[in-house]
Structure 1
Amino acid sequence: MTDKRPSRPVRRTFTAAYKTRILAAYDALPEGSPERGALLRTEKLYHSHIEHWRKQQDNGTLAASTGKPKKDAESEELARLRAENKKLKADAAKLAARNDKLAGELGKTRTALDIAGKAFALLENISSSADSDES
């Protein structure tokens, strides 16, 4: 008995050089132009390929075949450091916002203390002039 099931289709793979070449060609065309769509149709690609490859290029993980970075220690460490860097940048932005808020509150407090000091001086002046009038 022979098995008549169709074989599973082979997924296309793309080399890093091909991805880079297509990204460069795509980016060289004006945004929104029909030539971009024509390039994708000619290469039998989807816009999602371009988006995915551009993310990989920005992350420095533009690898061959499926586009997944190789699972070696160096790339895992690089991914961990990138994630930590992203978290630290987010934390720094939060701290900067909090610092700005606290600086504003400090300014208000200083103004209030300045006003309180002037009011105290005024009341002291009024009190001393009232004491001198009574004598």
Structure 2
Amino acid sequence: MSVWVCISLCAWLSRVVTAQHVMTGQPREVPVNGTEVEAAARFAVFEFNRDYTEDRFAYKIMNITSAKIQVVAGIKLILEVRLGRTVCKSSDTSDGEACGFNSEHKELWCHFVVTEIPWEDSRVLTQKRCHPYN
């Protein structure tokens, strides 16, 4: 069993971190345009939109400004993301990706931590902090 865990973790990390040395417990910068980073950011925004009750509109990613990976009892993706308000109501959709940006320009700056346990096929938004972007 532990061999499969190691194989799964190594395979996943090889896709996320190319030509970088990753040590357990130490966050490392990764490219913001990586497939896994973008998937984690979309997941975080989906969860954010589902739970955010301070606005009636959904938000979507404007850009990912920073991404780090940390190997713990799983894998943490630590993301800094700028979100923009869309024209879609959050009650209609929690996925703002297909929506255009709202003319009432409003942006949020968010810190998300997505924890993944690949061998359990688990992904959870473990931290979310957002504030208005000026």
Same fold (TM over 0.5): no
TM-score range normalised by the length of the shorter chain: under 0.3
More strand by share: 2
More helix by share: 1
TM-score using structure 2 length = 0.20
Bigger CA radius of gyration: 1
